[in-house]
């Protein structure tokens, strides 16, 4: 009998579909472009306005961190319409193509030295990430059949690309920007995204079976936002709550004296509708088990907001601290401030397997290793990282500068906390969310991540008045106490999950491989 000829999309490399490696390199270059530009963002905005390539925008720290907060929030919020457009209209494959094109154009425009180009470039990047980010991960899952044991390892390989792109971007883009100028750094990020687009287009023949335009049956499986809003109009109590929140949003827009008052007003209106939908979902749940799990799901969202609200000081306030208040001289050479942004991805690559094995050993010994425990522990460990920023701030007040190792230690603890929470939270969310609301709830999860990023911007902005020492100290105390509070109530919270992870525990205990990496 003649051997069956495999089609391109059926071919494998190192035991996985070739399409996985196409998506690996696409995402690697996308993260290269995103994190390369992110490492420069607040540094460029606060740099002095000079003639030549080193000229920045000359903004205050508060203004720069505020825009950084809006930008990083919108990047995640755009995942909601990006995922919706793919799921309901064009499919993930076309959505990723559009996202890559928008990102390439956005980074290219950022290389132009003009204020209109800066805002236009950021807008295109926001739209591009929103189209690409939620959909490329969906395509990775689609490469494997439902019960394929290779799926988890495939995602692990994929996330190596994420962190590899982030790590190399912080080093190369930061170095180019420090030597040749900001816009050369933005341009290098754009070249990276162009390479990712070319890889993706070249590899289309290996992705034939995934990310295609959804069928009518697939579209009918999801509960639409319009359906929930129509139900909200029929519920006087929930509608009244939403209207009250919207009224407050408009009032705050009229009375708040800040530059971005209407930005906050629009955000409050958005949150009002999200609140209304979340209430309607709870009302429509079937039975007490679904409702109890939904309550725990909401708490996990709160932990996500708290975690990223603290963690994302890394790209804003801590990035500025590295630039302005850290002694970065090493053997007579000044380390670019943007390089410190690569510490997070570097630590993830080095310690992800180590952290995963620690949790696996705890589980084998019968000790607490469920998702709630991991997430609360992650918040505490991340909070401890701010102790080192407190020490750095105290050293700066005494000596006029602080040592680099304080930043490195802070980033190390932040990364250890991230490895406990980030790979777990999204998986835990999918276990608790009602199946018929899954697509919508995934959008809510990314919205919570985006809201955490905006909270980080608001906190970082306050440092100009409160001082870094107070901000870092406050973040340490709040994060640690919040994590401890969750641990104190963890037993009743576990009961409310009604064994959502029990079956998974049995399956995982029989597996010999564990490997977790994180994307934020």
In tens, the pLDDT along 497-518 reads 988 776 544 344 444 344 444 5
Same domain, 377 and 507: yes
Q: Lowest mean pLDDT of 113-127, 231-245, 399-413, 488-502, name the range.
A: 231-245
Residue 312 lies in a domain: yes
Do strands 16-17 and 326-327 pair parallel, antiparallel, or not at all (unpaired)?
Answer: unpaired
- The pLDDT of residue 253 is 62
Same domain, 296 and 193: no
- The pLDDT of residue 511 is 42
Residue 3 lies in a domain: no
Residue 40 lies in a domain: yes
Return the closest-CA partner of residue 506 out of 363, 355, 354. 363
The pTM for the full model equals 0.83
* Token representation of residue 95: 């959505």
* Token representation of residue 253: 């827009």
**What tens digit of pLDDT does each residue of 103-145 get?**
999 999 998 988 999 999 999 999 999 899 888 888 888 888 7
Task: Name which residue leads in pLDDT, 10 or 56.
Answer: 56
Same domain, 226 and 214: no
Same domain, 236 and 330: no
Q: Are the C-beta atoms of residues 214 and 40 closer than 8 Å to each other? A: no
Q: Among residues 182, 205, 220, which one ends one of the domains?
A: 220
**What tens digit of pLDDT does each residue of 247-271 get?**
876 776 667 666 676 677 777 777 7
Q: Are the C-beta atoms of residues 45 and 64 closer than 8 Å to each other? A: yes
Same domain, 498 and 519: yes
- The pLDDT of residue 226 is 65
Same domain, 339 and 440: yes
Same domain, 325 and 387: yes
Which residue range is the domain that position 150 belongs to?
Answer: 8-220
**What tens digit of pLDDT does each residue of 280-339 get?**
888 888 889 999 999 999 999 999 999 999 999 988 899 999 999 999 999 988 898 888
Residue 1 lies in a domain: no
Same domain, 204 and 292: no
Q: State how many domains the chain has.
A: 3
Alpha carbons 164 and 28: distance in angstroms, whole number: 7
- The pLDDT of residue 372 is 93
Q: Among residues 164, 187, 220, which one ends one of the domains?
A: 220
* Token representation of residue 70: 């809006």
**What tens digit of pLDDT does each residue of 464-498 get?**
788 899 999 999 999 999 999 999 999 999 999 98
Helix, strand or coil for residue 150? Answer: coil
Residue 212 lies in a domain: yes
Residue 17 lies in a domain: yes
Helix, strand or coil for residue 223? Answer: coil
Residue recorded with tokens 């640690």: 480
Same domain, 137 and 226: no
Q: Among residues 284, 315, 335, which one ends one of the domains?
A: 284
- The pLDDT of residue 507 is 41
The CATH code of the domain that includes 60 is: 1.20.1250.20
Same domain, 198 and 139: yes
pLDDT tops 50 at residue 2: no
- Residue 112 burial (10 A CB sphere; 0-12, 13-18, 19+): middle
* Token representation of residue 518: 């994180």
Same domain, 175 and 35: yes
Per-chain mean pLDDT for the chain = 84
């Amino acid at each position: 009998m003649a051997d069956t000829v495999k089609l391109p999309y059926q071919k494998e490399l190192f035991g996985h579909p070739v399409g996985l490696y196409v998506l690996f390199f696409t995402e690697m270059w996308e993260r290269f472009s995103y994190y390369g530009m992110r490492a420069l963002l607040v540094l460029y905005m606060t740099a002095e306005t000079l003639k030549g390539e080193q000229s920045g925008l000359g903004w205050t720290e508060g203004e720069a961190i505020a825009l950084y907060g809006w930008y990083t929030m919108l990047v995640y919020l755009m995942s909601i319409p990006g995922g919706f457009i793919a799921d309901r209209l064009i499919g993930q494959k076309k959505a990723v193509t559009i996202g890559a094109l928008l990102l390439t154009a956005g980074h290219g425009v950022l290389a132009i030295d003009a204020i209109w180009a800066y805002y236009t470039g950021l807008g295109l990047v926001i739209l591009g990430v929103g189209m690409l980010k939620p959909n490329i991960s969906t395509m990775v899952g689609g490469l494997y059949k439902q019960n394929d044991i290779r799926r988890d390892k495939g995602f692990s390989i994929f996330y190596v690309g994420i962190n590899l792109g982030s790590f190399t971007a912080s080093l190369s883009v930061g170095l180019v920007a420090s030597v040749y100028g900001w816009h050369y750094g933005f341009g290098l990020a754009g070249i990276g995204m162009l390479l990712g687009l070319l890889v993706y287009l070249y590899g289309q023949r290996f992705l034939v079976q995934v990310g295609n335009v959804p069928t009518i049956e697939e579209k009918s499986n999801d509960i639409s936002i319009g359906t929930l809003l129509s139900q909200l109009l029929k519920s006087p109590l929930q509608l009244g709550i939403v209207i009250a929140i919207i009224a407050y949003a408009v009032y705050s827009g009229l009375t708040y004296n800040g530059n971005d008052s209407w930005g906050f007003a629009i955000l409050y209106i958005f949150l009002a509708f999200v609140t209304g939908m979340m209430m309607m979902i709870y009302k429509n749940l079937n039975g007490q088990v679904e409702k109890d799990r939904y309550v725990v799901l909401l708490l996990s969202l709160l932990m996500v907001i708290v975690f990223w609200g603290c963690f994302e000081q890394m790209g804003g306030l801590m990035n500025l601290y590295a630039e302005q208040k850290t002694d970065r001289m090493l053997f007579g050479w000044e380390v670019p401030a943007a390089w410190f942004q690569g510490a997070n991805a570097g630590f993830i690559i080095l310690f992800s397997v180590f952290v995963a094995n620690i949790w696996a050993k705890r589980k084998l010994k019968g000790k607490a290793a469920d998702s709630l425990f991991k997430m609360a522990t992650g918040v505490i460990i991340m909070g401890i990282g701010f102790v080192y920023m407190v020490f750095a701030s105290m050293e700066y007040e005494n000596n006029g500068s602080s040592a680099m190792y304080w930043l490195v230690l802070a980033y190390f603890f932040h990364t250890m906390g991230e490895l406990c929470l980030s790979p777990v939270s999204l998986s835990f969310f999918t276990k608790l969310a009602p199946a018929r609301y899954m697509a919508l709830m995934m959008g809510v999860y990314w919205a919570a991540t985006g809201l955490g990023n905006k909270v980080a911007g608001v906190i970082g902005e306050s440092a100009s008045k409160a001082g870094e020492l107070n901000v870092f100290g406050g973040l340490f105390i709040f994060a640690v106490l919040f994590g401890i509070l969750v641990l104190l109530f963890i037993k009743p919270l576990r009961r409310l999950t009604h064994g959502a992870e029990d079956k998974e525990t049995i399956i995982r205990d029989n597996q010999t491989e564990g490997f977790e990496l994180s994307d934020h």
